[in-house]
Amino acid sequence: MMVLRFLLLSTFFWSSSLFSQTRVTQEQKEKFLALDAFQKQLIQEKIALTEAEYNRFAPLYKDYQLKLSRSKKSFRKKWYPITPQKYSDAKAASYIKDVVKLQRTETDLFEVYSEKISNVIGSAKTLLLMEFRSTLEKRLVEKALELGIQEN
Amino acid sequence: MATLESKKLKSPYAPSKEKMNDIAYRIQSNVGVSAQEVFTIRQTSFIEQKKSPVQLSVEFGATTAKIAAPESVQPPIEEENQSVYEREITTQPQKEASPVPSNKYVETEITEIIPDTVDKGLSATENDALTPQIPQRPVPPVYKIATNNSQVQEDYNETPTDEDSLNESEAAKSGVRSVQIPWASILGFVATAMAVVGAWWVWNNIQKPSSVEDVVQTVSDQNSTATIIESSESTKNEITIEPKLVELPEEYRSLNNLLSQQESMQGTYLDFSGSSEPSKINMVKLEKKGMIVLELEDDLFNPLRL
């Protein structure tokens, strides 16, 4: 009886983890693939990466972006809405402390992944990437709007 | 004649009074002195037996029934032969009888029982030799129980009355029987229910991700646009005053440059709050894919990014 109960509970938890994944239609998936191809095209044109270099660079850059986003999301979740003008001394001190912690995380990620990416594409191209990043993101958002990804 | 007191005798053993009397009479008879009692012996009366004892039945399952025992018939106690201690002395001449009371052993009623003293000094054979012959008293009769057990059989076969059956049913209804509550089973069910509830709660919390619309709505609510007040046209001639430009002092030029740089740096990051709703939706989706990173809404600290 105890074994059955354990199996039942474990099945509940496993199934919940399975259903937590994002599911999109085939059409949406194709739009995202098109967006990936657009990004590849922009980076290769601006930074002059070969096919092999891009295949090694893309996973690293994606991993770096995800980790950075995760740290910012956790900070935003804790402090949303961010209204520094309304904070008391204690709260402001706590906010500064968390900001310092976030920036330390950003610095660590930058140090680690700048070295990894530099090993793949070189330090000069890494600097070009830093300079081109803002334009790249804006172009990606425009392309996503053009493809109609926001429509579910 | 004064009797001997056992207390005056300085001997290691305390002989019985009967034996001492016997010895005394033997000595006296051999010597030719009139036999006299040395120690007074108190005779105990018979103990009264219960006339109606409670006798349990020997049959298995039978109820205890009081069987009235037949009245005990005590046989008359035979008077002790006085000849035990009274002996005719014929061989030796008798001395003049002194004015003493008769040597007959008189039977007197005694209320208290005096236990016999323990004879310590003599051996078993000596004791046997000295002890007088005790007259055999008749064996008290054995009270025979009726073999039929008619009374017992009647009680056993007695059928319960209706009143008894009613009493039993009432006892059952009132719960005289011990009711055992299965606590272990109840706790098991409670634990199972709690586990199911917990799993359902976790399932719902996991299954409810924040939708893009929610994020967009919350961000847009934060940066709500002000209502536009329509201005009424006036017929009066409006006088436009052009601001007069002055030269900025040197100490303020670095500050001006810093401000201009900050404006330019702000332009390097995506302006989520200033974007349209479709753009916001796309930004959120692209962030999930790892293509872009949305900066914080505050501009207090410059992020460090590749």
How far is B258 from chain A, CA to nearest CA, in Å?
19
Pairwise CA distance, residues A136 & A39, whole Å: 8
Nearest-by-Cβ selection for A81 from B202, B222, B275: B222
Nearest-by-Cβ selection for A76 from B203, B296, B300: B296
Cβ B295 vs Cβ B303: under 8 Å: yes
pLDDT at B249: 72
Predicted confidence (pLDDT) at residue B186 exceeds the cutoff of 60: yes
Cβ B69 vs Cβ B143: under 8 Å: yes
Under DSSP, the state recorded for B278 is H
Predicted confidence (pLDDT) at residue B2 exceeds the cutoff of 60: no
One-letter amino acid for residue B262 of the chain:
Q
Enumerate residue ranges in chain A where pLDDT < 50: none
- In B, minimum Cα distance to A21 occurs at B207
pLDDT at A105: 92
Nearest-by-Cβ selection for A16 from B206, B218, B270: B206
How far is A34 from chain B, CA to nearest CA, in Å?
13
Is this structure's pTM higher than 0.95? Answer: no
User: Per-residue pLDDT tens for B193-228?
Assistant: 999 999 999 988 886 566 666 776 666 666 555 555
CB contact under 8 A, B290 and A69: yes
Predicted complex ipTM: 0.77
Cβ neighbours for B54, distance < 8 A, ≥ 6 positions apart:
B64, B66
pLDDT grade, residue B296 (50/70/90)?
confident
Instruction: Compute how many other C-beta atoms are within 10 angstroms of the C-beta atom of residue B45.
Output: 10
What are the DSSP calls for B70-128, one per residue?
A: PPP-PPPPPPPPGGGT-----SSPPPPPPS----------BSS--PPPP--SS-HHHHH
Chain A positions in Cβ-Cβ contact with residue B301 (cut-off 8 Å) = 99, 103
Instruction: Compute how many other C-beta atoms are within 10 angstroms of the C-beta atom of residue B149.
Output: 17
Quick one: which of B163, B161, B145 has its CA closest to B66? B145
How far is B251 from chain A, CA to nearest CA, in Å?
29
Cβ neighbours for B199, distance < 8 A, ≥ 6 positions apart:
A9, A12, A13, A16
How far is B237 from chain A, CA to nearest CA, in Å?
42
The two tokens of residue A126 are: 């890494």
pLDDT at A101: 92
Q: What is the mean pLDDT of residues B274-285?
A: 85
Cβ neighbours for B138, distance < 8 A, ≥ 6 positions apart:
B75, B78
Task: Show the CA angle centred on residue B244, arms to residues B243 and B249, nearest 5°.
Answer: 125
One-letter amino acid for residue B226 of the chain:
A
Cβ A41 vs Cβ A143: under 8 Å: no
Chain A positions in Cβ-Cβ contact with residue B224 (cut-off 8 Å) = none
Chain A positions in Cβ-Cβ contact with residue B278 (cut-off 8 Å) = 145, 150
Q: Is B150 helix (H, G, I), strand (E, B) or coil?
A: helix
- In A, minimum Cα distance to B277 occurs at A150
Q: Is B44 helix (H, G, I), strand (E, B) or coil?
A: strand
Cβ neighbours for B45, distance < 8 A, ≥ 6 positions apart:
B109, B110
- In B, minimum Cα distance to A38 occurs at B291
Q: What is the mean pLDDT of residues B182-193?
A: 94
| Helix, strand, coil distribution of chain B in percent, nearest 5 | 35, 0, 65
The dihedrals phi and psi of B44, each to the nearest 5 degrees, come to: -90, 145
Q: For all residues of chain B together, what is the average pLDDT? A: 68
Chain A positions in Cβ-Cβ contact with residue B297 (cut-off 8 Å) = 76, 81-82
Pairwise CA distance, residues A105 & A72, whole Å: 10
Nearest-by-Cβ selection for A107 from B206, B296, B304: B304
pLDDT grade, residue B255 (50/70/90)?
low
How far is B172 from chain A, CA to nearest CA, in Å?
34
CB contact under 8 A, B270 and A138: yes
Q: What is the mean pLDDT of residues B80-97?
A: 54
Q: Testing the interface with A: which of B292, B298, B300, B302 to mutate, by most A Cβ within 10 A? A: B292
Cβ B146 vs Cβ B65: under 8 Å: no
Chain B positions in Cβ-Cβ contact with residue A22 (cut-off 8 Å) = 209, 288
The two tokens of residue B269 are: 């990051």
Pairwise CA distance, residues B232 & B239, whole Å: 17
CB contact under 8 A, B290 and A65: yes
pLDDT at B5: 56
How far is B57 from chain A, CA to nearest CA, in Å?
54
User: Per-residue pLDDT tens for B23-71?
Assistant: 888 888 888 888 776 666 666 666 655 566 666 666 665 555 555 666 6
Contact of B162 with chain A, judged by CB distance below 8 Å, is answered with no
- In B, minimum Cα distance to A8 occurs at B196
Pairwise CA distance, residues B284 & B290, whole Å: 10
Under DSSP, the state recorded for B251 is G
pLDDT at A66: 92
CA dihedral A86, A88, A93, A94 (to 10 degrees): -80
- B6, B13, B121 from B117: Cα distances, Å: 11, 9, 12
Task: Show the CA angle centred on residue A55, arms to residues A138 and A30, nearest 5°.
Answer: 60
Q: Dmax over Cα atoms in chain B, in whole Å?
A: 190
Cβ neighbours for B166, distance < 8 A, ≥ 6 positions apart:
none
The two tokens of residue B253 are: 């030029």
Pairwise CA distance, residues B43 & B36, whole Å: 18
Nearest-by-Cβ selection for B279 from A15, A22, A145: A145
User: Per-residue pLDDT tens for A51-93?
Assistant: 999 999 999 999 999 999 999 989 988 888 888 888 899 999 9
pLDDT at A16: 57
How far is A110 from chain B, CA to nearest CA, in Å?
6
Nearest-by-Cβ selection for B282 from A5, A80, A145: A145
